[in-house]
């Protein structure tokens, strides 16, 4: 091996740019003959992600710095122009101590989508909101904030229904947002929100989520690593719906990235590291690569987790919660608490979708499973029978109330 350059920055961007027949990684554009050129403007930028250019993909790419600068770079003359400071564009409250931490960028379906995974104690308490998922539809458009909470990844194929996936989380649960670009019916071309259980709270801080990713493995199949659990996703999506989401395994690894390579599934590893000797129990560092098969994941931990659709939330009358994943788990319990309500009783209807499209396809409606009756300040639980499963579950509150509703799966 030959060392080409020394650098003092942090790079997490990589892209094959077929138009120029190059690979772009960090601040360098590498051709197929091994020669390379340097984006001098990016030598001191912590590039966290990059994306295909919206209007000039032949010549340019977007580069996203972890601290918020968004650059437009020409892969031929190597000039970079800063387009935005996303801290300002997305009103991230750095003055109140929120640490900016942009992690991913992806362009598809006529929009550039970026993700920042800021999540600290103030975010958990709801006194500040530093994380962001946001999109920009190009010159002449303003940035639109899609979510004010931590997001770590956004990606998608440019074909097969053109689904954009973005994964993040808040105090309640893992969050999966989707945008189906080829929708021809239903709620056409809009972002949809789904909630999934957390397998661990060890990943809740921005420093503990160093690039959990969504990657294509084998052929035309996605794996998503989200807060300690792998899920299988389909790149397909029609009629504004994507389906086939299921848990694969729970794990204890810190996996910054993973890929298919020559028949192997390769997991990046950040399990144990001395980190300048501030981890006194480390011993030998264990940060490295794991080589195995995708089938091996089913021998990792059994899918488990917990998460909610409401957590001390002010819920309006007839309000409908986000869909929560139900398939792929053995034992399932729902806990419900009313903290306050102006009505003497609260009636919470549990609805299920067993077809997998979360009611987004015409004629495929949610069905009522049961209704839970609670006093104004009360608690109850629903233990679902052995063998009972549906793809998604959601809740409907008949009256306004402050509610907590949490699912525990084991």
pLDDT tens across 55-68, in order?
A: 999 999 999 999 99
Mean pLDDT of 210-236: 88
| Strand, coil or helix: 94 | helix
Question: What's residue 187's pLDDT?
Answer: 53
Cα–Cα dist 282/56, whole Å: 48
* Whether 134 contacts 49, CB under 8 Å: no
Mean pLDDT of 129-140: 96
| Strand, coil or helix: 298 | helix
Decide the pairing of beta strands 36-38 and 28-31.
antiparallel
Which residues, at least 6 apart from 196, have a Cβ–Cβ distance to it below 8 Å?
A: 173, 174, 175, 176, 226, 231, 245, 305, 307, 324, 325
Mean pLDDT of 208-237: 87
Tokens of 369: 């499973």
Phi-psi map region of 396: left, alpha, beta (phi>0 left; psi -120 to 50 alpha): beta
C-alpha distances (whole Å) from 399 to each of 310, 345, 374 are: 15, 8, 11
Cα–Cα dist 177/84, whole Å: 24
Tokens of 34: 């091994």
Phi-psi map region of 162: left, alpha, beta (phi>0 left; psi -120 to 50 alpha): left
| Strand, coil or helix: 96 | helix
Per-residue pLDDT band for 183 (boundaries 50, 70, 90) equals low
Which residues, at least 6 apart from 256, have a Cβ–Cβ distance to it below 8 Å?
A: 210, 211, 212, 213, 268, 270
Lowest mean pLDDT, pick from 55-69, 176-190, 208-222? 176-190
Question: What's residue 342's pLDDT?
Answer: 79
Cα–Cα dist 257/393, whole Å: 30
Rg of the chain (C-alpha set):
22
User: Widest CA span of the chain, in angstroms?
Assistant: 75
Cα–Cα dist 87/93, whole Å: 8
Cα–Cα dist 14/104, whole Å: 11
Per-residue pLDDT band for 278 (boundaries 50, 70, 90) equals confident
Torsion angles phi and psi, residue 318, rounded to 5: 65, 20
Is the dihedral angle over the CA atoms 363, 366, 368, 371 positive or is it negative?
negative
Cα–Cα dist 112/78, whole Å: 21
Encode burial over 19-43: b for 16+ CB neighbours within 10 A, e otherwise.
eeebebbbbbbbeeeeebbebebbe
Q: Give tens-digit pLDDT for 69-108.
A: 999 999 999 999 999 999 999 999 998 888 999 999 999 9
pLDDT for residue 185 is more than 60: no
Residues in the chain, total:
410
The Cβ of residue 191 has, within 10 Å, a number of other Cβ atoms equal to 18
pTM above 0.75, yes or no: yes
Q: Give tens-digit pLDDT for 292-304.
A: 999 999 999 999 9
| Strand, coil or helix: 30 | strand
Phi-psi map region of 81: left, alpha, beta (phi>0 left; psi -120 to 50 alpha): beta
Is the dihedral angle over the CA atoms 120, 126, 128, 133 positive or is it negative?
positive
Tokens of 268: 């990046």
Question: Within 13 Å of residue 327, how many CA atoms lie on the same side as its CB?
Answer: 19
Question: Within 13 Å of residue 147, how many CA atoms lie on the same side as its CB?
Answer: 30
Question: What's residue 237's pLDDT?
Answer: 81
* Whether 23 contacts 30, CB under 8 Å: yes
Domain 90-299: assigned CATH number: 2.120.10
Cα–Cα dist 238/244, whole Å: 12
* Whether 336 contacts 405, CB under 8 Å: yes
Boundaries of every domain in the chain: 90-299, 305-409
| Strand, coil or helix: 6 | coil
Mean pLDDT of 316-336: 97
Domain 305-409: assigned CATH number: 2.60.120.20
* Whether 213 contacts 230, CB under 8 Å: no
* Whether 186 contacts 239, CB under 8 Å: yes
């Amino acid at each position: 091996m030959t060392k080409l350059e020394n650098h003092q920055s942090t790079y997490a961007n990589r892209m094959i740019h077929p138009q120029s027949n190059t690979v772009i990684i960090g601040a360098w554009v590498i051709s197929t003959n091994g020669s390379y050129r340097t984006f001098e403007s990016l030598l001191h930028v912590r590039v966290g992600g990059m994306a295909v250019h919206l209007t000039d993909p032949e010549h340019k790419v977007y580069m996203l710095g972890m601290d918020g600068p968004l650059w437009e770079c020409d892969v031929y003359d190597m000039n970079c122009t800063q387009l935005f400071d996303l801290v300002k564009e997305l009103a991230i409250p750095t003055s109140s101590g929120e640490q900016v931490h942009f992690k991913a960028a992806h362009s598809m379906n006529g929009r550039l989508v970026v993700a920042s995974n800021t999540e600290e104690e103030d975010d958990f308490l709801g006194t500040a909101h530093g994380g962001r998922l946001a999109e920009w539809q190009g010159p002449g458009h303003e940035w639109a904030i899609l979510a004010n909470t931590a997001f770590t990844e956004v990606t998608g194929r440019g074909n097969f229904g053109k689904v954009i996936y973005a994964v993040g989380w808040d105090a309640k649960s893992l969050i999966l947002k989707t945008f189906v670009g080829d929708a021809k019916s239903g709620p056409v071309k809009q972002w949809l929100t789904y909630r999934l259980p957390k397998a661990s709270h060890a990943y809740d801080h921005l420093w503990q989520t160093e690039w959990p990713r969504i990657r294509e493995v084998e052929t035309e199949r996605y794996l998503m690593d989200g807060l300690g659990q792998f899920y299988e996703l389909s790149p397909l999506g029609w009629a504004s719906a994507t389906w086939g989401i299921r848990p694969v395994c729970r794990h204890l690894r810190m996996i910054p990235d993973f890929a298919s390579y020559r028949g192997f599934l390769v997991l990046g590893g950040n399990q144990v590291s001395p980190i300048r000797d501030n981890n006194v129990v480390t011993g030998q560092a264990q940060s490295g690569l794991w080589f195995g098969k995708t089938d091996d994941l089913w021998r990792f931990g059994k899918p488990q987790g917990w998460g909610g659709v409401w957590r001390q939330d002010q819920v309006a009358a007839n309000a409908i919660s986000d869909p929560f994943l139900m398939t792929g788990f053995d034992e399932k319990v729902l806990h419900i608490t009313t903290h306050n309500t102006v009505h003497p009783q609260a009636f919470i209807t549990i609805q299920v979708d067993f077809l997998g499209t979360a009611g987004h396809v015409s004629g495929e409606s949610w069905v009522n499973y049961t209704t839970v009756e609670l006093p104004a300040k009360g608690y109850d639980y629903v233990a679902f029978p052995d063998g009972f499963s549906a793809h998604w579950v959601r809740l409907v509150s008949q009256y306004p109330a402050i509610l907590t509703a949490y699912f525990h799966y084991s």
